[in-house]
Structure 1
Amino acid sequence: MIILTLLLGIYAQNNINELLKEWEIHIEQSSIESQQTFQDILYQFKDEIPKQYQSRFFRLYGQYIFYGLENENTIDYARALYYFKKSSDLGDINSQFYVSLMTYLHLDGSYNIYSNLKTESQLFRYVKEKYQSISLIDLYFSAIQGFDQSSVAMGYRHLKGIGVNQNCSNSALFYLPVLEEFANQPIKAKYIRENRQVAKALYDSNFYMNYELDIFEHAQIFENLNLITHESAQEVKQLAFSFYYGLNGLRRNFTKAYQLYQKLYDQLNDKESGIRVAQMNIEKLGVDKPNYQLALEILNKIQTKNQEFQGKIYNALGYIYFKGLGVQQDIIKAQDYFRKSADLQNNDGQFNLGSLYMLPSTIQRERNQQKGVQLIEKAATSGHAMAQYSLALILLDGVDLFYSCDLAAALLHASSSRGPWADVLKTANYLFQQEQYAQSLSKYFEAGYSGFLMAIQNAAVVMEQYDAFYYNALHFSNVQDRLNEDPVYKITGYNNDAFSYLYQDYLQFATQSTLHELLQLDSFELNGVLQYRFLKQCAGEKEAICHIKLGDYYYNGKYEEVNFQKSYQHYKKALEGQLIDAMKAHVYFNLGLMYALGYGVNVNRTKSMEIFELSISSYSLIPILPVNAQVQIIDFWVNVYKQIDKTGIEQFLDVNYLELAKYLIDTVEECLIENSQAIVNISVGSVIVILFGWRLKLINQYN
């Protein structure tokens, strides 16, 4: 029984791991299938999320929201940030990258704060500078722990001096380990030594996919197509190209690409596809076991006058003889083929021949560093990423060529732009083509943060022309309400204050800010919630104005439920401090209403009259009237309000209309006796009330 339980536990764990891998792939591709996978995982976690999965799951869920896979019309950046921070707190280095990204771009809500503050204020300076310092710290720790995308972003920051001093040495320091890892692993090296076709597709133009092709539909049609005609050849070749390079929203899949290229060559004798079949066998891509004899046979069989094709053939033959793949190793023959390829301007041939010249001399071959550097430099100029990386090493070494740190860092940046993180830009372009602008924008944000200039430009275009995002759409004020409806949040059972969790650093800084700075935040786009938190803190320091504001908030139910008891307490504390007359009058008036109406205290008519008199004495509402007359008018209208609230306006006027009119006339007479100047104010007010009441009475009678 124990063994069976263990086996079931292992099976369940493997099942969850596979689901998480599948979900991660769907998220990277921004595939709609991620929604179903998410539901499957959620079913596994219906009771609780095991600790061993929390950091990864929270990060994936944050990406799921951040990329707009939850809702394609809007993206809830506040909730995405919440889960990234949760994952980051659990040690996930990927999430540190996203927290850094969102802080840097003000997607953490900081824009809503400092945009409403005066530039000379201390709080403004803190918020303005925070996005640089905090984002840099998160990015740095993520990079030094081995997250390649963070290392590339750090390299770019030092290269351009973004938030740090411009320093080519530091830039190279972050780029080199990442590129070295990729350069020394054949499959990974494919990412950074692709030919100019991908570079042209990604970097030479904005939004390069302008053809009418539903790549996913074609993938389903042509993947299992046995017979390929000349009419369908171009579309099949385009699909194979997309699988090979991971373009147009498809994940890179060498196996599917090889199958399609092989069909194109076998059935239609397509020369370009034949060269690709040979190359993939040589490089062990998309095949279980490489067939070097087939590769050699295809390369020797193809006859072409196309200079590009012939350059690729010579380079592939050179590689076969250099490595001795299915033939006797022959460096001299390899060098000859590489030379022929280089003469045809093939940048792979230029790089390989240059590399041979840089190797130590042998009996058969002499070393020629000058020629080697010239050829590598030529390949680097044409966009060959491995050549750019190699030339950067030469420039940093300064032995075989002059030393140039700046040029080396620029080359490392160019080379790094071919890494797997370039897939984010590919997907962003695809989403833009599909008119999913909000989702494409998040992808452009990420690609731009990694140093893709084209992504930054595209993000600006999407924001400007397609209304994909505005900062005032960031709703951080009610993030707790949205989290309460969040299926993941419900499972975790967190009871912490999400808003305070997201803004803990700002709230801590509030104690260092002046009251004037805090009060400026009353109208900013977070609907005053952050100011409300600030005021609660400064109220603890016995600031009278803060108590007044909080009393108003609780009285009106502005940011929490109406709570007259709390409102009463804050008003009383406010009166203990230093207030100007108008503020005192405001507090006294509301306290008088509370006693008159029984809000938060027992009804006490005498007390309310006394407090109303204090309010008028502090700041008279109608200076020309005596205090006792003003108190009587206020008391009368408070009682009118109570009756209207109880019976409704129509019924009140129907029963009390004559009494109301008589009272107003008596008040006019009393005011005339006390102060003849009051006649205008009182008579006009009385006439308006009488006419309004008469109109309502007539309407009631008519109905």
Structure 2
Amino acid sequence: MIILTLLLGIYAQNNINELLKEWEIHIEQSSIESQSTFQEILHYFKDEIPKQYQSRFFRLYGQYIFYGLENENTIDYARALYYFKKSSDLGDINSQFYVSLMTYLHLDGSYNIYSNLKTESQLFRYVKEKYQSISLIDLYFSAIQGFDQSSVAMGYRHLKGIGVNQNCSNSALFYLPVLEEFANQPIKAKYISENRQVAKALYDSNFYMNYELDIFGHAQIFENLNLVTHESAVEVKQLAFSFYYGLNGLRRNFTKAYQLYLKLYDQLNDKESGIRVAQMNIENLGVDKPNYQLALEILNKISTKNQEYQGKIYNALGYIYFKGLGVHQDIIRAQDYFKKSADLQNNDGQFNLGSLYMLPSTIQRERNQQKGVSLIEKAATTGHAMAQYSLALILLDGVDLFYSCDLAAALLHASSSRGPWADVLKTANYLFQQEQYTQSLSKYFEAGYSGFLVATCKQLQINLENAAVVMEQYDAFYYNTLHFSDVQNRLSQDPVYQITGNNNDAFSYLYQDYLQFVNQSTLHELLELDSFGLNGVLQYRFLKQCANEKEAICHMKLGDYYYNGKYEEVDFQKSFQHYKKALDGQLIDAMKAHVYFNLGLMRALGQGVEINRTKSIEIFELSINSYSLIPILPVNAQVQIIDFLVNVYKQIDKTGIELFLDVNYLELAKYLIDTVEECLIGNSQAIVNVSVGFIIVILFGWRLKLINQYN
């Protein structure tokens, strides 16, 4: 029985790991399938999320929200940030990258704070500086712990001097380990090298994609198609191209690409596809076992006047003889083929020939560093990522060429822009093409933050123009629509939050550093915070802490908040208590009048206390004695008017200070006239009395509105 239980536990664990892996792939692809996978995972985690899965699961859930997969029309950045922070706190280095990104781009709600603050305030300076310093700290620790995308982003920051001193040496220190890892692994190096070939489609234009077709529909039709016709050849080749490079929403799949290219060559003798089949056998991509003889046969068989094709053929033949793949190794013959390829302006041939010239001399071949550097430089200028990397190493070494740290760092940056971490940009372009602007925006944010070659946005000093265009022209997102003030309410409806059973204050968790500023900011600065959105919540939190220090004005404001139900449920008892505490401190006359009036109203209406008309009249008198906007009327008369109108107010079943202040007093006066109209007929004195009452009603309403506006 124990063994059976253990086996079932291992089986369930394997299932969860597979589901998480599948979900991660769907999220990377921004696939709609991520929703169904998420529901399957929730089924496993319906009772609790085991500790060993929490950091990864929280990060994936944050990405799921951040990429707009939860809701295609809007992205809840507040909840995404919450889960990234939870994952980061559990040690996930990927999440640190996203926390850094959201902080730097003000997606953490900071824009809603500083945009309404005076520039000389301490809080403003902190918020403005935080997006540089805090974001840099998260990014730095993520990079030094081995997250490649953070290393690339740090390299770019040092290259451009974004939040740090511009320093090419530091830039190179972050770029080199990442690129070195890929350069020393053939498949990964191929990934970087080949990605340059789609650079033009991806980078020359902000959004344009070369292949406008229903790629998923074609994938289903052509993947298992046995016969390829001339009519379908173009679409099959486009599908193979998309699989090879991971374009148009498809995940990179060399196996499927190879199968399609092989069909095109076998059935239609397509020369371009034949060259690709040969290359993929040479590089062991998408095949169970490389067939070097087939590659050699295809390359020798193809006859073409196309300079581009012939350059690729010569380079592939050179590689075969250089490595001795299915033939005896022959460096001289390889060099001859590389030279023919380079003469045809093939940048692979230029790079390979240049690399040969840089190798130590042998009996058969002489080293020529000058030619080698020249050829590598030519290849680098065409966007050859491996050539850019190699040239950067040469420039940093300063032995075979002059030392140039700045140029080396720039080359490393260009090379890094072709790495696998740049797939996010391809996905962004695809989503934009599909008019999924909200989802594409998050991808552009991520690509731009990493410094990938999109375009330049001077405002953020980082490559984010695509994101800016999506925001401005396609209404994908506005900073003032960020809803952070009610994040706790939205989390309460969150299925993951419900499973974790978190009872913590999410707002305090996200903004604990801002809340500390209550001890460093003046009361005037706190009260200047905007009363809507995130700022209003911050002000409310500030006031709660401020009230603990017995500041009368804070108690007065909290009394208003609880009375009107701002940021908390309406609570008349708390409101009454705060108003009473406010009177124990120092208030200016107008504020004291406001507090007395509200207390009198609560006594009169029984809000939070028992109804006591006598007591309410006494309190109204205190309000008028403190501050009166109608000094020409005796205090007793004003009190009687207020008492009269409060009773009218009760009769017409109105509740709440705000509604009372918003009464249309002209309509109210007409209502009073209509109700006693029959009694007024033939009674001129009564008409005079009603006219005077009409004037008094308007003056009283005017007084209340002025006091409310003043406060």
Seen in structure 2, the aligned counterparts of structure 1 residues 651 and 61 have a Cα distance that, compared at 3 Å, is: closer
Does the 8 Å contact 2:529/2:535 carry over to 1? no
Once the two structures are superposed, residues 504-524 of structure 1 have per-residue CA deviations (whole angstroms, 9 ceiling, x without a partner) of 111112321111111111334
Seen in structure 2, the aligned counterparts of structure 1 residues 591 and 695 have a Cα distance that, compared at 3 Å, is: closer
Seen in structure 2, the aligned counterparts of structure 1 residues 365 and 262 have a Cα distance that, compared at 3 Å, is: same
Seen in structure 2, the aligned counterparts of structure 1 residues 600 and 249 have a Cα distance that, compared at 3 Å, is: same
Partner residue in 1 for 2:163:
163
Does the 8 Å contact 1:544/1:575 carry over to 2? yes
Name the SS of the counterpart of 2:630 in structure 1. Answer: coil
| CA distance in 1 between partners of 2:622 and 2:321 (Å) | 102
Does the 8 Å contact 1:282/1:292 carry over to 2? yes
Once the two structures are superposed, residues 389-427 of structure 1 have per-residue CA deviations (whole angstroms, 9 ceiling, x without a partner) of 000000001011000000000000000000112210100
Cα deviation, residue 683, structure 1: 3.9
| CA distance in 1 between partners of 2:335 and 2:138 (Å) | 48
Once the two structures are superposed, residues 457-477 of structure 1 have per-residue CA deviations (whole angstroms, 9 ceiling, x without a partner) of 211111111111001110011
Does the 8 Å contact 2:429/2:440 carry over to 1? yes
Seen in structure 2, the aligned counterparts of structure 1 residues 698 and 352 have a Cα distance that, compared at 3 Å, is: closer
| CA distance in 1 between partners of 2:287 and 2:152 (Å) | 31
- Deviating runs (4+, > 6 A) in structure 1? 646-682, 687-703
| CA distance in 2 between partners of 1:215 and 1:702 (Å) | 62
Does the 8 Å contact 1:643/1:652 carry over to 2? no
| CA distance in 1 between partners of 2:667 and 2:352 (Å) | 105
Cα deviation, residue 657, structure 1: 17
| CA distance in 2 between partners of 1:3 and 1:104 (Å) | 51
| CA distance in 1 between partners of 2:658 and 2:165 (Å) | 73
Does the 8 Å contact 1:319/1:334 carry over to 2? yes
TM normalised by structure 1 equals: 0.93
Cα deviation, residue 361, structure 1: 1.2
| CA distance in 1 between partners of 2:42 and 2:408 (Å) | 48
Seen in structure 2, the aligned counterparts of structure 1 residues 670 and 137 have a Cα distance that, compared at 3 Å, is: farther
| CA distance in 2 between partners of 1:549 and 1:620 (Å) | 21
Once the two structures are superposed, residues 424-450 of structure 1 have per-residue CA deviations (whole angstroms, 9 ceiling, x without a partner) of 010000000110000001100000001
Seen in structure 2, the aligned counterparts of structure 1 residues 544 and 3 have a Cα distance that, compared at 3 Å, is: same
Seen in structure 2, the aligned counterparts of structure 1 residues 325 and 147 have a Cα distance that, compared at 3 Å, is: same
Seen in structure 2, the aligned counterparts of structure 1 residues 563 and 435 have a Cα distance that, compared at 3 Å, is: same
Alignment length, in residue pairs?
703
Does the 8 Å contact 1:624/1:677 carry over to 2? no
Seen in structure 2, the aligned counterparts of structure 1 residues 370 and 656 have a Cα distance that, compared at 3 Å, is: closer
Cα deviation, residue 212, structure 1: 3.3
Does the 8 Å contact 2:113/2:535 carry over to 1? no
Once the two structures are superposed, residues 548-600 of structure 1 have per-residue CA deviations (whole angstroms, 9 ceiling, x without a partner) of 10010111112211111111121122112211100000011111112222222
Seen in structure 2, the aligned counterparts of structure 1 residues 673 and 269 have a Cα distance that, compared at 3 Å, is: closer
Does the 8 Å contact 2:564/2:657 carry over to 1? no
Does the 8 Å contact 2:112/2:535 carry over to 1? no
Seen in structure 2, the aligned counterparts of structure 1 residues 162 and 675 have a Cα distance that, compared at 3 Å, is: farther
Once the two structures are superposed, residues 53-84 of structure 1 have per-residue CA deviations (whole angstroms, 9 ceiling, x without a partner) of 11111111111111111111111111111111
Cα deviation, residue 601, structure 1: 1.9
Does the 8 Å contact 1:123/1:513 carry over to 2? yes
| CA distance in 1 between partners of 2:388 and 2:432 (Å) | 30
Seen in structure 2, the aligned counterparts of structure 1 residues 631 and 481 have a Cα distance that, compared at 3 Å, is: same
Cα deviation, residue 635, structure 1: 1.8
Does the 8 Å contact 1:61/1:83 carry over to 2? yes
| CA distance in 1 between partners of 2:667 and 2:196 (Å) | 92
Cα deviation, residue 547, structure 1: 0.9
Once the two structures are superposed, residues 276-324 of structure 1 have per-residue CA deviations (whole angstroms, 9 ceiling, x without a partner) of 1111011010011111111111111111111111111111111111111
| CA distance in 2 between partners of 1:337 and 1:655 (Å) | 91
Partner residue in 1 for 2:104:
104
Does the 8 Å contact 2:58/2:87 carry over to 1? yes
1:528 equivalent among 517, 531, 536: 536
Does the 8 Å contact 1:282/1:291 carry over to 2? yes
Does the 8 Å contact 1:104/1:135 carry over to 2? yes
| CA distance in 2 between partners of 1:648 and 1:155 (Å) | 58
Cα deviation, residue 692, structure 1: 16
| CA distance in 1 between partners of 2:266 and 2:88 (Å) | 51
Seen in structure 2, the aligned counterparts of structure 1 residues 389 and 681 have a Cα distance that, compared at 3 Å, is: farther
For the aligned residue pairs, the C-alpha RMSD in angstroms reads 6.0
For structure 2, list consecutive stretches of 5 or more residues without a partner in the other structure: 456-463
Once the two structures are superposed, residues 456-499 of structure 1 have per-residue CA deviations (whole angstroms, 9 ceiling, x without a partner) of 22111111111110011100111111111111111111011111
| CA distance in 2 between partners of 1:655 and 1:503 (Å) | 38
Does the 8 Å contact 1:210/1:433 carry over to 2? no
Seen in structure 2, the aligned counterparts of structure 1 residues 652 and 292 have a Cα distance that, compared at 3 Å, is: closer
Seen in structure 2, the aligned counterparts of structure 1 residues 312 and 634 have a Cα distance that, compared at 3 Å, is: same
Between stretches 433-442 and 622-631, larger displacement belongs to 622-631
Does the 8 Å contact 2:630/2:703 carry over to 1? no
Cα deviation, residue 199, structure 1: 1.3
Does the 8 Å contact 1:112/1:524 carry over to 2? no
Once the two structures are superposed, residues 102-140 of structure 1 have per-residue CA deviations (whole angstroms, 9 ceiling, x without a partner) of 111101000000000011111111111111111111100
Once the two structures are superposed, residues 237-272 of structure 1 have per-residue CA deviations (whole angstroms, 9 ceiling, x without a partner) of 111011001111111000000000000011011111
**% same residue:** 93
| CA distance in 2 between partners of 1:698 and 1:540 (Å) | 30
Cα deviation, residue 207, structure 1: 1.2
Name the SS of the counterpart of 1:294 in structure 2. Answer: helix
Does the 8 Å contact 2:562/2:574 carry over to 1? yes
Between stretches 183-192 and 281-290, larger displacement belongs to 183-192
Cα deviation, residue 643, structure 1: 3.3
Partner residue in 1 for 2:79:
79
Seen in structure 2, the aligned counterparts of structure 1 residues 459 and 509 have a Cα distance that, compared at 3 Å, is: same
| CA distance in 2 between partners of 1:656 and 1:55 (Å) | 56
For structure 1, list consecutive stretches of 5 or more residues without a partner in the other structure: none
Once the two structures are superposed, residues 187-209 of structure 1 have per-residue CA deviations (whole angstroms, 9 ceiling, x without a partner) of 11122112653111111122121
Cα deviation, residue 694, structure 1: 23
Seen in structure 2, the aligned counterparts of structure 1 residues 696 and 349 have a Cα distance that, compared at 3 Å, is: closer
Seen in structure 2, the aligned counterparts of structure 1 residues 365 and 674 have a Cα distance that, compared at 3 Å, is: farther
Cα deviation, residue 639, structure 1: 2.5
| CA distance in 2 between partners of 1:22 and 1:660 (Å) | 66
Between stretches 598-607 and 460-469, larger displacement belongs to 598-607
Partner residue in 2 for 1:467:
475
Seen in structure 2, the aligned counterparts of structure 1 residues 33 and 645 have a Cα distance that, compared at 3 Å, is: same
